[in-house]
């Protein structure tokens, strides 16, 4: 029998998971919208972020340092990947772009496996977020509430960057019409670099803050990649609010189905995706006709 | 060439394959190989044949092939373990059919979105199968344990039955299945169906515009790939005596993609070669101290490098080297334009003075056709009638609504209101493919040709749409031996003066020739009405004069609507001219009358009276 506290606890789990998916999917959708590249390496970047956080935590014992390291290291990794490889692919067919980012995934994941081994690692929740909060409707781990706050703050920041800055204007214009932005004489290559770096950074950051909730393994990025694809398909590609709503829907589906019938939680997610595809192929917030 | 030699040439790939596979068991002990490894490679190769049809030939990159490999494998294993039968052939067929059915469902859903979405969706649905397998269906699939105790294959019935109980025996079973699968895939590639697939990879929108039902072709090849995957999955269970859940892993789909790229996509044999590289690299590197743990990363690096600089892979590269020495003779200029042509054309009398406007039955008509984009009315209440055999020009200044009107005629965009009738039947909203099948074909303002196909192959796609209809699963007949289709290609090539260029890849043509090929593609569907969108756009004066003569020669027997900016072309060709301005039809008459029409002059030159509000 499902009790109310359990139900609310699962609702909150769905929110936390959903918020993380929003963060990861946001990077994916902005990179796609601006660069036109589907980054199959996004899940791997998330895993690399978690390991960067893990190493930093091992050396410093500070969770804040781990978060910072995850984000900054991934910014660097993102910049290197964009400069070294992705930019060779802007003029190539989308299939090639997918192939190369998939190749990057193999390299990153296998490098992690070779260095750290296949065993699961763990970053404990920071001391300032230990314990449990009484939310009246349910008891809930403090850390997960903090995750919600941290992700919420990151999204507000991202929203600000996207909708209140020059860079954001270019990115949004690029999502609408890449060619036109080029013609207007805006330095697109530098924008591309920034966007890819920021997207990678968001993924790495998400990897670190999710590490205390899940375990850190080389393959941890695979599930999150697939789930963020689902988020993008449900929400519609290139849409900020699509990623937010899609992410929260996905999180709640996973978590609430897990409460009722655990075996079906993942399957349910794909069933909803199939439903969206049948009823509204361009996604909830997607614009008809856009690729 | 004598008949046996020609036959041997045609069958060379199959013969070479069979010879190698026959010799392999003798060589195996000397190359550290075992039947077990050879069997795995053949199984991956079979899996890859379907994937290569899907990706290498049609350009659809799927990351979900594991779903069908797993589904085929588990259904086949379950049939044998339950046991419903002890006959391995029945089980394999069951697995293949099951995988095909899943292929229809997943294909239908995934193909609702094209391009990058397709890769994401197949990946997602592939994962769905994995999750279905390990938990809700665990009662049948054994969940994370898989299905154990798959019996050794028993083939045939009664006294004709064979039991296979050693890896060597399994090897011969796989050889037979693989060679048959390879032969079938080669037939598909060389068939009319395969020709359409290759064109879809190049330019799907154009394939649809010449009258092929592209979604149906894509779905069909998706199901074929699923069937190959299902068969290979079933064989995997037989090989191991056990059906593992890793068949459903994302890694399985990924490995297939990597192997295909390494071996060479679009070669059919590539995946087999790629699988050989993968399994050998694995065994080789695994045994080197200090490198063992890094083997897959090394493979990943090789993959990234190949994708970046050597996209053809091993087989594609070899084929390229093989063919390169036979240097293609340099394109000799085809003397189809005489010197001084310009002067002669300029001196030619205008069409309107040559013949009276046709008075045949009305073939195409629009009734109150409008198109609104938000507050903007691009085409406003245009009614128009076209008579059989007529050449009609649609002109108007920029922004007059010509292209919008034109695209509505071709059913490329739907009208906001009004109807389009072809020979008295309403064709509004039928879509470009069906409209082309009915007999209205469009050539585009910007060339929409198939760049890496030859002129012959380009035209063939259009001819096939007429000869075989919007969809035809003709997979076993050789497309280059279809006399009707070949005659159609020759006729189309002759009519656009490209007969001498038939074997030139379209990308190598001169601009004017590409333009003629563009028109040729529309013409090769043998339309009753030809819609030409700025056929002379970007042409030099000489090329333009050529094109006018070309269009005039085509015009016998075809009704033509032409949108054009070049007034020499318009007045040199048209029987009647329709003038659009601000979305409205302001005049329609014979060229001389249009030239004298004050409203038309006002529209083009801008008169105070025409613009000032009343």
List pLDDT tens digits, range A108-162. Answer: 999 999 999 888 998 888 888 778 887 777 788 888 888 899 999 999 998 888 7
Query: Residue B532, class by beta-carbon neighbours within 10 Å (0-12 exposed, 13-18 middle, 19+ buried)?
Result: buried
Distance from CA of A217 to the nearest CA of B (A): 16
Residue B71: pLDDT band (50, 70, 90) is: very high
- pLDDT (mean) for B497-503: 90
Any domain includes B21: yes
Confidence (pLDDT) at B327: 47
B136, A267: Cβ pair inside 8 Å? Answer: yes
Give the B window 241-260 contacts with A, CB below 8 Å: 250, 254, 257-258
Tokens for B13, please give them: 């790939």
Query: Which residues, 6+ apart, have CB-to-CB distance to A255 below 8 Å?
Result: A10, A11, A13, A14, A17, A265
Confidence (pLDDT) at B328: 52
Select the residue from B104, B120, B205 to test the A interface by mutation, using most A Cβ atoms within 10 A.
Answer: B120
Any domain includes B599: no
B163-179 pLDDT per residue, tens: 787 888 899 999 999 99
Confidence (pLDDT) at B161: 73
CA distance linking residue B397 with residue B575, whole number of Å: 20
A40-71 pLDDT per residue, tens: 999 999 999 999 999 999 999 899 999 999 99
Residue A278: pLDDT band (50, 70, 90) is: confident
Residue B341: pLDDT band (50, 70, 90) is: very low
Distance from CA of B226 to the nearest CA of A (A): 19
A110, A271, A291: residue with CB nearest B115: A291
Question: Residue A274: its chain B contacts at CB < 8 A?
Answer: 109, 125
A85, B124: Cβ pair inside 8 Å? Answer: no
How many Å from the N-terminal Cα to the C-terminal Cα in chain B?
A: 80
What's the number of domains chain B is made of?
1
Any domain includes B206: yes
CA distance linking residue A93 with residue B199, whole number of Å: 15
Confidence (pLDDT) at B571: 86
Confidence (pLDDT) at B151: 83
What is the percentage of chain B residues whose pLDDT exceeds 90? 37
Residue B347 has pLDDT above 50, yes or no: no
A113, B293: Cβ pair inside 8 Å? Answer: yes
Range of the domain at B205: 3-323
Question: Residue A106: its chain B contacts at CB < 8 A?
Answer: 254, 258, 296-297, 299-300, 303
A38, A114, A233: residue with CB nearest B294: A114
| Ramachandran quadrant class, B77 (left: phi over 0; alpha: psi -120 to 50; beta: rest) | alpha
Q: Which alpha helices (DSSP H) does chain A contain, by range? A: 4-35, 42-60, 63-84, 94-116, 142-164, 166-176, 178-183, 188-210, 220-235, 240-260, 265-279
B116, B128, B304: residue with CB nearest A104: B304
| Residue B350 CA, distance from chain mean position | 42
Long-range contacts (CB closer than 8 Å, 24 or more residues apart) made by B505-509: B505/B451, B505/B452, B505/B453, B505/B454, B506/B449, B506/B450, B506/B451, B506/B452, B506/B453, B506/B454, B506/B455, B506/B458, B507/B451, B507/B452, B508/B331, B509/B455
A188-210 vs A4-35: helix crossing angle, rounded to 10: 160
Residue B344 has pLDDT above 70, yes or no: no
Query: What average pLDDT does chain B have?
Result: 86
B35-52 vs B167-189: helix crossing angle, rounded to 10: 20
Tokens for B526, please give them: 């043998």
- For residues B405 and A286, the model is more confident at B405
- For residues B606 and B216, the model is more confident at B216
What is the percentage of chain B residues whose pLDDT exceeds 70? 92
- pLDDT (mean) for B76-87: 89
Neighbours of A284 (CB within 10 A): 17
B120, A273: Cβ pair inside 8 Å? Answer: no
Whether the bond into B83 is cis, omega within 30 of 0: yes
Select the residue from A226, A231, A265, A273 to test the B interface by mutation, using most B Cβ atoms within 10 A.
Answer: A226
Query: Any CB–CB contact under 8 A between B3 and chain A?
Result: no
- For residues B352 and B201, the model is more confident at B201
Q: Is B361:B529 a contact under the CB 8 Å cutoff? A: no
Confidence (pLDDT) at B142: 80
Any domain includes B494: no
Question: Residue B112: its chain A contacts at CB < 8 A?
Answer: 277-278, 281
- pLDDT (mean) for B598-610: 70
CA proximity to A170, closest of A198, A201, A207, A147 = A198
Query: Any CB–CB contact under 8 A between A118 and chain B?
Result: no
Confidence (pLDDT) at B349: 45
CA distance linking residue B495 with residue B106, whole number of Å: 43
Neighbours of B5 (CB within 10 A): 9
- Which three-class secondary structure state does DSSP give residue B587? strand
Q: What angle do CA B284, B290, B293 make, to 5 degrees?
A: 70
Q: Which residues of A34-66 are buried (b: 16+ CB within 10 A; e: fewer)?
A: bbbbbbbbbbbbbbbbbbbbbbbbeeeeebeeb
Q: What angle do CA B39, B45, B47 make, to 5 degrees?
A: 105
Query: Any CB–CB contact under 8 A between B300 and chain A?
Result: yes
CA distance linking residue A25 with residue A224, whole number of Å: 9
Residue B612: pLDDT band (50, 70, 90) is: very low
B304, A95: Cβ pair inside 8 Å? Answer: no
Query: Any CB–CB contact under 8 A between B11 and chain A?
Result: no
Any domain includes B245: yes
Neighbours of B436 (CB within 10 A): 26
A103, B299: Cβ pair inside 8 Å? Answer: no
* ipTM metric: 0.90
Query: Which residue do the tokens 């094109």 mark?
Result: B547
What are the strands, taking DSSP E only, across chain A? 132-134, 139-141
What is the interface size between A and B, counted as CB pairs within 8 Å? 110
B125, B257, B299: residue with CB nearest A102: B257
Residue B340 has pLDDT above 70, yes or no: no
- pLDDT (mean) for B116-137: 86
Give the B window 362-381 contacts with A, CB below 8 Å: none
Query: Any CB–CB contact under 8 A between B288 and chain A?
Result: no
- For residues B180 and B8, the model is more confident at B180
B125, A270: Cβ pair inside 8 Å? Answer: yes
B119, B136, B311: residue with CB nearest A264: B136
Q: What is the CA radius of gyration of chain A?
A: 19
| Residue B612 CA, distance from chain mean position | 52
B35-69 pLDDT per residue, tens: 888 999 999 999 999 999 999 999 999 999 999 99
Confidence (pLDDT) at B544: 84
Tokens for B314, please give them: 């091993």
Distance from CA of B307 to the nearest CA of A (A): 6
CA distance linking residue A228 with residue A232, whole number of Å: 6
Cross-strand partners of B440: B529
Q: Is B151:B90 a contact under the CB 8 Å cutoff? A: no
CA distance linking residue B145 with residue B148, whole number of Å: 8
Residue B594: pLDDT band (50, 70, 90) is: confident
A240-260 vs A265-279: helix crossing angle, rounded to 10: 140
Residue B281: pLDDT band (50, 70, 90) is: confident
B120, A267: Cβ pair inside 8 Å? Answer: no
Query: Any CB–CB contact under 8 A between B507 and chain A?
Result: no
Any domain includes B432: no
B141-160 pLDDT per residue, tens: 887 788 887 888 888 776 66
A110, A233, A262: residue with CB nearest B300: A110
Question: Residue B309: its chain A contacts at CB < 8 A?
Answer: none
Domain containing residue B204: CATH number: 1.10.3470
Query: Residue B376, class by beta-carbon neighbours within 10 Å (0-12 exposed, 13-18 middle, 19+ buried)?
Result: exposed
B123, A233: Cβ pair inside 8 Å? Answer: no
Query: What average pLDDT does chain A have?
Result: 87
CA distance linking residue B412 with residue B431, whole number of Å: 6
CA distance linking residue A268 with residue A262, whole number of Å: 10
Distance from CA of A142 to the nearest CA of B (A): 31
- Which three-class secondary structure state does DSSP give residue A93? coil
Q: Is B468:B431 a contact under the CB 8 Å cutoff? A: no
A281, B112: Cβ pair inside 8 Å? Answer: yes
B392 DSSP 8-state letter: E
Select the residue from A106, A242, A263 to test the B interface by mutation, using most B Cβ atoms within 10 A.
Answer: A106
| Residue B506 CA, distance from chain mean position | 16
Residue B251 has pLDDT above 80, yes or no: yes
Select the residue from B297, B309, B311 to test the A interface by mutation, using most A Cβ atoms within 10 A.
Answer: B297
Question: Residue A100: its chain B contacts at CB < 8 A?
Answer: 304, 307-308
B482 DSSP 8-state letter: -
Distance from CA of B23 to the nearest CA of A (A): 35
Confidence (pLDDT) at B535: 87
Neighbours of B429 (CB within 10 A): 12
From B62-66, B117-121, B225-229, the region with the lowest mean pLDDT: B117-121
- pLDDT (mean) for B551-570: 85
Tokens for B499, please give them: 């007969």
Tokens for B240, please give them: 């191991």
Residue B338: pLDDT band (50, 70, 90) is: very low
Any domain includes B199: yes
Any domain includes B382: no
From A181-190, B32-41, B255-264, B408-417, the region with the lowest mean pLDDT: A181-190
């Amino acid at each position: 029998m499902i009790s109310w506290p359990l139900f609310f606890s699962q609702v909150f789990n769905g929110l936390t998971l959903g918020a993380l998916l929003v963060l990861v999917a946001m990077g994916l959708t902005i990179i796609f919208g601006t660069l036109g590249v589907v980054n199959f390496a996004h899940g791997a970047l998330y895993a690399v972020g978690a390991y960067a956080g893990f190493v930093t935590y091992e050396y410093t014992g500070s969770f804040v340092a781990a978060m910072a390291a995850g984000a900054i290291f991934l910014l660097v990794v993102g910049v290197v990947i964009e400069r070294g490889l992705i930019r060779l692919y802007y003029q190539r067919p989308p299939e090639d772009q997918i192939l190369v980012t998939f190749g990057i995934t193999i390299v990153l994941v296998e490098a992690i496996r070779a260095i750290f081994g296949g065993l699961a690692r763990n970053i404990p929740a920071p001391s300032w977020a230990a314990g449990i909060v009484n939310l009246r409707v349910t008891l809930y781990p403090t850390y997960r509430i903090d995750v919600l706050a941290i992700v919420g703050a990151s999204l507000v920041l991202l929203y600000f960057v996207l909708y209140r800055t020059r860079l954001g204007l270019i990115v949004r214009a690029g999502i609408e019409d890449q060619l036109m932005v080029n013609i207007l004489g805006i330095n697109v290559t530098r924008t591309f670099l920034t966007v890819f770096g920021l997207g990678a950074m968001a993924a790495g950051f998400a990897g670190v803050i999710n590490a205390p909730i899940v375990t850190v393994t080389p393959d941890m990025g695979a599930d999150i990649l697939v789930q963020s694809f689902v988020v993008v398909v449900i929400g519609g590609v290139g849409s900020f609010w699509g990623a937010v709503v899609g992410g929260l829907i996905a999180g709640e589906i996973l978590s609430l189905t897990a409460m009722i019938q655990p075996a079906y939680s993942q399957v349910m997610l794909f069933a909803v995706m199939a439903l969206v595809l049948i009823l509204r192929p361009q996604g909830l917030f997607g614009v008809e006709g856009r690729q | 060439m004598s008949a046996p030699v020609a036959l041997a040439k045609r069958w060379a790939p199959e013969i070479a394959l069979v010879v190698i596979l026959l010799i392999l068991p003798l060589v195996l002990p000397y190359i550290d190989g075992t039947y077990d490894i050879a069997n795995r490679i053949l199984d991956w190769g079979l899996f890859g044949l379907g994937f290569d049809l899907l990706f290498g030939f049609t350009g659809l990159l799927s990351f979900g092939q594991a779903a069908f490999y797993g589904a085929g494998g588990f259904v086949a294993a379950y049939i044998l373990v339950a046991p419903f039968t002890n006959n391995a052939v029945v089980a394999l067929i069951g697995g293949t059919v099951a995988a095909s059915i899943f292929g229809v469902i997943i294909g239908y859903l995934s193909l609702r979105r094209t391009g990058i979405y397709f890769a994401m969706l197949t990946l997602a649905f592939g994962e769905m199968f994995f999750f279905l397998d390990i938990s809700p269906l665990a009662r049948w699939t054994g969940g994370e344990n898989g299905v154990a105790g798959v019996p050794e294959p028993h083939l045939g019935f009664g006294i004709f039955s064979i039991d296979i109980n050693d890896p060597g025996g399994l090897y011969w079973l796989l050889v037979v299945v693989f060679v048959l699968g390879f032969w079938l895939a080669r037939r598909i590639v060389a068939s009319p169906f395969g020709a359409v697939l290759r064109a879809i990879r190049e330019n799907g929108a154009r394939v649809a515009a010449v009258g092929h039902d592209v979604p149906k072709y894509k779905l069909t090849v998706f199901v074929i790939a699923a069937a190959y995957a299902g068969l290979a999955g079933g064989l995997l269970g037989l090989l191991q005596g056990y059906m593992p859940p890793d068949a459903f892993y994302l890694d399985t789909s990924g490995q297939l993609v990597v192997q295909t790229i390494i071996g060479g996509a679009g070669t059919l044999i590539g995946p087999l070669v790629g699988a050989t590289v993968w399994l050998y690299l694995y065994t080789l590197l695994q045994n080197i101290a200090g490198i063992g743990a890094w083997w897959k990363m090394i493979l990943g690096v090789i993959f990234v490098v190949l994708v970046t600089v050597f996209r053809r892979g091993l087989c594609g590269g070899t084929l390229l080297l093989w063919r390169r020495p036979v240097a293609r003779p340099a394109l000799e200029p085809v003397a189809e334009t005489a010197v001084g042509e310009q002067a002669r054309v300029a001196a030619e009398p205008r069409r309107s003075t040559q013949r009276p406007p046709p008075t045949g039955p009305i073939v195409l008509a629009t009734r109150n056709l409008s198109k609104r984009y938000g507050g903007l009315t691009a085409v406003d209440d245009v009614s128009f009638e076209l008579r059989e055999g007529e050449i009609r020009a649609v002109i108007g200044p920029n922004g007059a609504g010509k292209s919008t009107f034109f695209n509505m005629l071709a059913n490329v965009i739907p009208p906001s209101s009004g109807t389009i009738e072809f020979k008295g039947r309403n064709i509004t909203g039928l879509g470009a493919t069906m409209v082309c099948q009915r007999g209205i074909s469009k050539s585009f303002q910007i060339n929409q040709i198939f760049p890496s196909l030859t002129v012959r192959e380009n035209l063939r796609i259009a001819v096939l749409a007429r000869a075989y209809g919007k969809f035809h699963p003709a997979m076993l007949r050789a497309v280059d031996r279809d006399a009707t289709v070949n005659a159609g290609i020759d006729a189309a090539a002759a009519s656009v003066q490209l007969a001498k260029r038939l074997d030139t890849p379209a990308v190598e043509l001169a601009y004017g020739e590409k333009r003629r090929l563009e028109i040729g593609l529309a013409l090769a569907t043998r339309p009753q009405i030809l819609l030409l969108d700025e056929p002379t756009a970007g042409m030099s004066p000489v090329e333009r004069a050529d094109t006018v003569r070309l269009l005039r020669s085509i015009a016998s027997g075809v009704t033509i609507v032409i949108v054009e900016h070049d007034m020499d072309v318009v007045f040199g060709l048209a029987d009647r001219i329709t003038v659009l301005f601000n979305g409205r039809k302001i005049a329609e008459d014979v060229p001389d009358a249009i030239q004298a029409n004050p409203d038309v002059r006002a529209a083009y030159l801008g008169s105070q009276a025409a613009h000032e509000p009343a």
